Amino acid sequence: MGEAQVIPLPRRELDGPPVTVPRPRPVTRLRQRREAPGLRAFVRNRLTGEYPVDEFGFDPELTDTLLLPPLRAVYEKWFRVTVTGTLPPGGSLVVANHSGTLPWDALMTAVAVRDNHPERRHLRMLGADLVFKVPVLGSLARKSGQTLACRADAVRLLRAGEVVGVWPEGFKGIGKPFHERYRLQRFGRGGFVTTALRAEVPIVPCSIVGAEEIHPKIADLKPLAKLLGLPYFPVTPLFPLLGPLGAIPLPTKWHIHFGDPIRPAPSTPDAADDPAQILEIADTVRDTIQATLDHLVATRPSIF
Amino acid sequence: MAPNVVLVTGVADRIAGRLAAELAADESIERVIGVDPNPPATGLPERVELVAADPRGPLVTRVLRSAGVDTVVHAAPLTGPGQVVGTMRLLAGCQRAGGVRKLVVRSTAEVYGASATSPAVFTEQDVPDGVRRDALEVESHVRGFARRHPEATVTTVRLAELLGSGADSPLARYLALPVVPTALGFDARVQVLHPGDAVAVLRRAVTHDLPGVYNAGGDGVLLLSQAIRRAGRVQLPMPRAAVPAAARLARAELSPDLARLLNYGRVLDTTRLKTAFGYAPRWSTTAAFDDYVHGQRR
């Protein structure tokens, strides 16, 4: 496999619709948690195998009872996440920037969507096939609602009215060096736009501030990464120096902003196959996220 | 067009046998001919005319011609080494006999395979690339036949794993182990089809003209761990590579495809079955599984 190359894009002059930098708005709806089954009922259901699982392997009972509560504690106590903006009701495709060496940003966004979506949806994320090859991780990803990043699965979820999350920068984004923080990488080939057009759902640009500084990656041990079959092997000020302790993320203060939904209005019926339209919409989404990131980073009082 | 003389292959198998029996009970069908080299395990009604013939031999071609068969149901399960040659012979026979207007083929969901890079749900449009080369080859011969004979109605149904009361399948034998070896760190999504629904789907394809390829599986999925608990068994997680050997020790043979299925899982989209084909399975995956468990306890 070739080495993923980071290709910084020149900041494009906008000739399309101007990107408006949204002012942070308070979340309109108060958090309300769905009644999770009591612990006793949960254990009983586990033992008898009496719980629903959808065709992707998503187990909402397990997710809400065991997986989300510890993540919610990290979300509230460690990263102290502030959420602004709103998510549209019904199915949508949440497109976010990826960073932080370890995918804490994805986990925190999952909590943010679960607690702030008007219909209290779970975020269904699309993961690299690497995730599904790894024992434990793969089955845990499926049970918590994630699926393979392929168009068939994404369109199927969106048509069913689910909220789907994608990180178009992929490993290039999450594994980028610290000095490139808050600079969006290439957005693949805009596959997410085709998916949204096919499923006829809005795209929600999501900007995440704070994840960049949790594991400042200052070097990459490429031979070791290759040996372990990983996309990168990070060196941070604390890792591998402090061993497992160094893998604890720094307690930065986070801000997740869900931007106004972009409803791709295809000018032709076959826009989903038209590279010009796909790339234009992908650039609009990318520029929106970049502009919001710049604004939020410039106005935040402190990293911590 | 209503079938008049129906030939069913593989009637020693439970599904094919039950299909032949049901077709024999249908007054509008003049003759039902069952072909299998082995005698059927369960008795078939008198009206099913049995021909003890190896599908690889020339006898089937002669039967097709002399009996004036108009509908052929290739319902023999895709196991054993002779299936590809048997199918080629059968199709060649249909071609030579000339009177065959309809061909119904029982295929399997195994054609899709199961892997970490597979979509979560397979539709009929997905390109089959499973490890079951024989099943893929059978389907490709059937497609060739359909191309050469546009006047014939060719229906292929891809059946999910069969499980229900009294079902005898590799999956059923595996799940019946007192301690079930599973791959550590994997938990497959399993979709099953009740044998009763499998027979009903094949029967509908015989009595109605429904050309094309259709997936058939029960609604919903069970996770393997969940299924084992529902069956009141104990799972024994072990490294993935050791599972087939452990199952073999306990006398449950896992084919390479089934071993992969039990790691990654496989789910079929049955929208086309319910809409274009017009059949909604009566047993969901969970109901079929519970029926299987109930049958075990009796």
pLDDT in tens, A271-298: 788 888 899 999 999 999 999 999 999 9
Residue A156 has its nearest CB partner, among B121, B226, B265, at: B121
- d(CA A140, CA A119) in angstroms, rounded, equals 24
Question: Between chain A and chain B, how many beta carbons pairs sit less than 8 Å apart?
Answer: 81
Residue A219, in any domain of the structure: no
A199 domain residue, yes or no? yes
Cα–Cα distance, B19 to B11 (Å, whole number): 8
A52: which chain B residues are within 8 Å (Cβ-Cβ)?
Answer: 220
Query: Bridge-partner residues for A95, per DSSP?
Result: A166, A205
* Overall average pLDDT of the B12-26 stretch: 94
Residue A123 belongs to some domain of the structure: yes
In one-letter notation, the amino acid at residue A137 is: L
Closest in B123, B226, B264 to A49, CB measured: B226
Q: How many domains are there within chain A? A: 1
Residues of A with Cβ-Cβ distance to B183 under 8 angstroms: 135
Tokens of A292: 């919001």
pLDDT of residue A10: 47
Given A47, A133, A136, which is nearest B116 (Cβ)?
Answer: A133
Amino acid at A121: R
Range of the domain at A124: 63-214+249-299
**Distance (Å, whole) CA A198 – CA A294:** 31
Considering the entire predicted model, what is its pTM? 0.88
Which residue, among B30, B67, B70, has the nearest Cα to B51 in the 3D structure?
Answer: B67
In one letter, which amino acid is B217? Answer: G
Say if residue A240 is preceded by a cis peptide, omega within 30 of 0.
Answer: yes
Tell me which of A139, A140, A162 to substitute to probe the interface with B (most B C-beta atoms closer than 10 Å).
Answer: A139
Q: What is the dihedral of CA A183, A186, A187, A190, to 10 degrees?
A: 150
Using the predicted structure, report yes or no on whether residue A13 has a pLDDT greater than 70.
no
Please answer yes or no on whether B185 and A135 come within 8 Å at the CB atom. yes
B-chain residues within 8 Å CB-CB of A229?
A: none
pLDDT at B96 over 70: yes
Closest CA to B106 of B35, B198, B25: B198
Residues of A in contact with B185 (CB under 8 A): 134-139
Partner-chain contact A56 B184, CB within 8 Å:
no
Which of chain B's residues have a Cβ under 8 Å away from the Cβ of A142?
A: 187, 189
Instruction: Find the Cα–Cα–Cα–Cα dihedral A192, A22, A89, A149, rounded to 10°.
Output: 20
Predicted confidence band at A26 (pLDDT cuts at 50, 70, 90)? very low
A237 within some domain: no
Count of positions (residues) in chain A = 304
Q: Do B121 and A133 touch (CB under 8 A)?
A: no
| Residue B100, pLDDT score | 94
Joined tokens for residue A85: 């903006």
The answer to whether residue A17 sits within a structural domain is no
pLDDT tens per residue, range B128-180: 888 888 899 999 999 999 999 999 999 999 999 999 987 788 899 999 898 99
Q: Any idea what the CATH number is for the domain that residue A139 is in?
A: 3.40.1130.10
Tell me which of B31 and B55 has the higher pLDDT.
B31
CB atoms under 10 Å from CB of A207, counted, come to: 27
Q: Would the ipTM clear 0.95, i.e. be above it?
A: no
Asked whether residue A103 is assigned to any structural domain, the reply reads yes
On the CB side of B156, how many CA atoms lie within 13 Å of its CA? 19
Tell me the per-residue pLDDT of A143-173, one tens digit each, with 9 for 90 and over.
Answer: 999 999 999 999 999 999 999 999 999 889 9
Enumerate chain A positions whose Cβ falls within 8 A of a Cβ in B: 46-57, 59, 129, 132-139, 142-143, 147-148, 150, 152-153, 156
In this complex, which of A49, A50, A147 lies closest to B120 when CB atoms are compared?
A: A147
Across chain B, mean pLDDT equals 92
Residue B80 pLDDT class (50, 70, 90 cuts)? low
Q: Is residue A285 part of a domain?
A: yes
**Would you say residue A231 lies in a domain?**
no
Question: A44, A46, A54, A55: best mutation site toward chain B, by most B Cβ within 10 Å?
Answer: A55
Determine contact, residues A195/A92, Cβ cutoff 8 Å. Answer: no
What pLDDT, on a 0 to 100 scale, did the predictor assign at position A28?
39
Chain B neighbors of A46, CB-CB under 8 A: 229
| Chain B residues touching A152 at Cβ < 8 A | 119-121, 123, 126
Tell if the CB–CB gap between A53 and B189 is shorter than 8 Å.
yes
